[in-house]
Structure formats: C-alpha cells, structure tokens
Chains A and B, each alone.
Chain A
C-alpha cells in the first residue's frame, strides 16, 4: 500500500455519511490530519497475520439460560422523556420534515 491520499471529494462524502458538516476553511487541515491517521494505521497491512480467519469476539459468549427474563420493567415517564428533547409537540418529538418513504 502506497501513501494514502484522501481526495477532498472523498472527505466530503465521508463527512456526509457521518452527518457532519465541514466548513470550507477546515477542509484542508482535516484532510491532512486524516491522511496522517490513515498512513499511521496502514502498518496493519504490512504482514500477513497468521490467524486471518479467526472471529475475534470481544466477549465470552453468554449462555442462553442466563439471558434476561421477559418481564415488563419500568419505562420512563413520558414527560421526563419529552423534557430532554429540544423540540416536541403534543406527546411527540419533532424534527423538520423528513422525506417520506
């Protein structure tokens, strides 16, 4: 793998996918920083790892018998939930119009 370069177009597409607006004046710096991070991490590709097929679980599997029982517990009071939101109407949370499916 050669020196990784990220085009501005790729940066913008990445930012769009992450739903983050990058101001024009910050793009060049961010591009440079990301390229640095990509280059730094490219060392992962230098050798073949022996255990390429192993599924690396982060946790020990939990036995089915120990999983949570299906009993109804406490929910939040609706008012407490709505109080957190920046915009609500009646008993709903609100956002500007979403494109319909």
Chain B
C-alpha cells in the first residue's frame, strides 16, 4: 500500500460453549432477562470466591490442540486490574505468564495461496457485564459477567484485511467444527481486536501500533484495517507520528475513532490470582481431549475433493456444516456418481432445507438413488429436479416411480425429431435469432422441447437434432457464437 507494508496481529475473544460460567455455577444461556444469572461470585460480592470450571478448561485445551498449540502441564490464573462499571471485582481473572496454550498455528487459504499464521498463545479469562448508556445514566446487566472466554493471540504476521478475514474465517470454522463455540459475531460470542502498524516496504523494524477493539464482523475487520492503515500512512507521509492508541471502529462512518474512555488503566498491575490454585493437566488427560477432535475442516475438504472428485468450492460448502457433511458422505457411499450427487445436493436440495443447522427432508438414500439414475443416463437433470420436489412431500423410490410413470429419458431419435420439428414451427422468432447468429436462442428451443416432453428429452441429443435441423433450413450455415 503506497510503498508501505501493514503489520497486523489479531486478538480474538471467543465465548466457550459451556453451561455455566468460568468461575461460578450461574447459567451462560444467551438472552436471559437482565440480572437473573448472577450470584455472589460473579458479582464480586465481598467474601465470594471463584472456582475453576472443568468443561471450560477442556474446551480451551481442545481449541489449543486443534490449533497446534503446546499445552502447559501447569498453568495459572492472574488478575488484570482496572476499574469499569462492567467489572464487578475491579479486576478480570485472566492468565498471565503461564497460559494454557502456546505456540500454535493455523494454515489459511488467502485467494488460493496458503499461508501459515502463527498463534502466540491461547488463554482463558472471564467476560465482563453489559453496559447500556441512556441519557445521563449507565445501566448495568451482570448476566454476562464471568462467561468463559478464550483469547487467541496471533503473531503479527498478517499483512492485509484479506489475510485477516481469511484467518478469522478459518479460526471460526475450526472452533465451530470442534464444538468449542458457536462463534456468532452478531451475538458477541466472537470478537476481534486488531493491532496494526505500518512500515516502509523492506524495513525490518516495527512501527508504532494502535489497537482497534471489539470489531464484530469480518467485513468490518477488513474495513477497519484498510482505514487505519491509510490513516497511519497518511500521518507518516505528513511527517507526523503515529501515537500508540486504543481506537474503535465506527460502523457508520467506516473510520476508526479514538476511544474516549480515560477510565481504562494503562497499567494493569498484574498480580497472581491467589484465590485459585494452578491447574495441573496430565498427559493422558490432554491426549483424551485431543482424541475428541477428529478430522479438522481443512483436512476434510481436501479429502472430500480427492475422494469424490468434487471441486474445492463445492467441498467447502459441503463441509461448512457437520450435519451436511455427514449427510453427503452417507449418500456418497451409496452411488457411483458422487460428483453428480454433490451438484444435486448443492443446487437443488439445499434451498429447501430450513433452519440454521442442516437437516434434510429427503433421505440420503433417495438422493443417492437420484444421482445414480442420472449418472446411468436413465433420467435427465430436469426430471431429477422434479422428483426432488415431489420427494419433499412424500417419500418414494425414484427408480420405481421413473419406471411406473415412464419418466425415463427419451433417446428415440425419431420421436425426438418430431418434438424438435414442432418446437421449430412454434418459435419462428427464436429460429430467426439463432440463424442470425444468436446462439443463445437455441436454449429457448431446447426449453420448448423439454416442456413438451415434460423434461424427458435427452438434452444432448435434442441439441444435436435442433442444430442439424436449423442448419439444413437456415442460411449459409455460418453460426456466430
């Protein structure tokens, strides 16, 4: 960018999918009425003490393993001290020198190029409450206080908004696949802080960095990076200094803005969390957690592509939902035409599946049957589509129905020729257009034949017959495509 290089590191906060909070047994359910999931511990009442949540640690370790980290056998909690009305104890219990996970990495595809992004550390910490500013008052809801988070800190090795959002997408994919979080940015279960500095291309030293906090969508991350990089470069080009600041992204203006809160401490005065013992993890326990991980999305995509010969784009969609993947794999085992199957599922079935998680009204077996019928040349894709529609309402064996209702492809040349001649006679305009050189006009003629045959005309043969017919009738045979 204008002779400058961006240096970006991301700190991603992710809410863990536990039933209870990190340090107490209050519920973490989303959307509860305000201040109804609070107790002496999470509200910092005098004398209340925190207790570790085993499930939160399990999920954090699982995330660490899925991201290739080293897991610490003994890790400690630390207090990060600052004052803010959403922080009941006046400190956040987090981890300092001895976090749970360190030195991992994530391989990411950025516009077809592979990039490995180093992950410095992953640690657990508790979330703060929610504030609402109305008029001259601020209202506090303590429900979110104490919700378990992991903070995933990348190395500053990203160099563009595109790389950043690719990294975030890959991160989310793994965390969702492993059941660690639902990573819904709009609900706040995944938040991103960006650390950004710029330097002249070829320069080794790092410029002063700014922090942009709490960005809650991938596209805003890209925009914030673009704006901030531009802002910093602008300053440097004018001979001014970049100040080390904490900023936020303003969605309306698309700019980053200095955060006005002076109430944040600049020195967190970390201190050992003496109300909690360190956690000791045994090798066997870590291994057991690792066993639960299974195939990661990237590996699964590759395998699907190789095993079934489907494109990486299609593989990406099929692996975007674990239920969809399972469905596809079940069906793929039952047909010799997985590629056709994937096409059917992606373009015809998905649109009829409602709900956030994939679930199909048509069984995998039936879809496999359809793919096979198509692959064997028994039915056209047009008929397949119609059968899918019918299968949405009632289950039946496609093979049987095709036979019973004579839905098979029409390959009889004589019969087809009849339809072809009818279509030509009924659509003089299309014929004219085609003969004038508009190749696309052929489609409407094919469509006409299809309509007449209720989708059963063998498409290639129909095309062939039409072309032959029109050439004979037409002009000098020059067809401009």
Contact = CB atoms under 8 A, between A and B. Distances in A.
Interface in A49-101: 55, 57-65, 67-76, 78, 81-82, 84, 89-101
A88 to B, nearest CB: 9
Q: Which of A61, A75, A98, A100 has the largest number of chain B CB atoms within 10 A?
A: A75
A93 B139 contact: yes
A95 B141 CA distance: 12
Given A58-B272, A82-B35, A99-B262, A64 B280 contact: yes
B223 to A, nearest CB: 18
A97 B269 CA distance: 26
Interface residues of A, number: 39
Contacts of B260: 99-101
B481 interface: no
A62 B260 CA distance: 41
A74 B38 CA distance: 9
A21 interface: no
A19 interface: yes
A95 B267 contact: no
A70 B18 CA distance: 7
Contacts of B455: none
Contacts of B142: 81, 93
B280 A62 contact: yes
Nearest to B135: A97
Nearest to B26: A75
Interface stretch (B46-54, B235-243, B349-357, B375-383): B46-54
A55 B261 CA distance: 35
B85 A17 contact: no
Contacts of B140: 92-95
Nearest to B97: A55
A75 B135 CA distance: 30
Contacts of A94: 137-140
Contacts of B466: none
Given A74-B39, A99-B260, A65 B285 contact: yes
Contact of B279 (A67, A91, A97): A67
A101 B259 contact: yes
A98 B264 CA distance: 11
B265 A17 contact: yes
A95 B39 CA distance: 20
Given A61-B278, A75-B26, A95-B140, A70 B54 contact: yes
A69 B332 CA distance: 40
Given A61-B280, A64-B54, A72 B35 contact: no
A62 B36 CA distance: 31
A94 B449 CA distance: 72
B40 to A, nearest CB: 7
Contacts of A95: 85, 137-138, 140
Interface in B100-152: 131-133, 135-142
5 contacts: A78-B34, A81-B43, A95-B138, A95-B140, A98-B261
